[in-house]
Amino acid sequence: MEEEDEGHGYFGNYHYQTSEASTYTLLRRNAKSNRRYPTEAEALLWERLKGKQLGVRFRRQHPVYGYIPDFVCLSLNIVIEIDGGYHTSAAQQQADMERTHYLESFGFRVVRFTNDQILYDTDKVIEKIKQTMTKQSAPTPQGTPLLRRGRGRLKIK
């Protein structure tokens, strides 16, 4: 049975715990600081994502498995990253690729946009996010279904 905590996605197939307890305090502090000082592109995109405007809850600068992505939708496992100017260096592109693969290993779909895409073509960015949401919400086979015996009751001998 899948439960949802008031739409926040803490139970069921959603990522209940997205950071290790040992690093969560530091990550949370850094995330809070990042939220206080958003880039122009982050602020613009947040205006279009906040308040379930796309039908799901997005979080801004929320710790996820050791990283702080710009935006994350835990219920659909979508991470949105905004790449500023420093993301053009080879070293940063390699780090971004490794981070993407790492988050994908937890079932997240990572979508990247440049600052310019967000600032100058926001509607196209929102359309791409909606397309990703549709793909992520489509049912996917996840192993063999459980047999319908026992109806969830525990049998003790």
Query: Does residue 10 lie in a domain region?
Result: no
pTM over 0.75: no
Q: Using CA atoms, how far apart are residues 8 and 52, in angstroms rounded to an integer?
A: 11
pLDDT (0 to 100) of residue 145 = 41
99 located within any domain? yes
Residue 123 domain-assigned? yes
Q: Is residue 96 part of a domain?
A: yes
At 16, is the pLDDT very low, low, confident or very high (cuts 50, 70, 90)? very low
Beta strands in the chain (DSSP E): 59-60, 71-73, 78-83, 109-114
Handedness of CA 101, 94, 135, 116 (dihedral sign): positive
pLDDT above 80: residue 34 = no
| Residue 124: inside a domain | yes
Q: How confident is the model at residue 14 (pLDDT cuts 50, 70, 90)?
A: very low
Does residue 126 lie within any of the structural domains? yes
Number of structural domains in the chain: 1
Query: Does the pLDDT value for residue 45 go beyond 50?
Result: yes
Instruction: Please indicate whether residue 77 or residue 25 has the higher confidence score (pLDDT).
Output: 77
Provide mean pLDDT across the span 8-14: 39
CA distance 50 to 133: 15
Q: Look at residue 147 and tell me whether its pLDDT is greater than 60.
A: no
Could you list the residue range(s) of the whole structural domain that residue 101 is in? 38-134
Q: Which of 24-38, 48-62, 98-112, 138-152 comes out lowest in average pLDDT?
A: 138-152
Average pLDDT for residues 72-85, to the nearest whole number? 91
Whether 32 maps to a domain, the answer reads: no
Q: Domain containing 52 — which CATH number? A: 3.40.960.10
58 belongs to a structural domain: yes
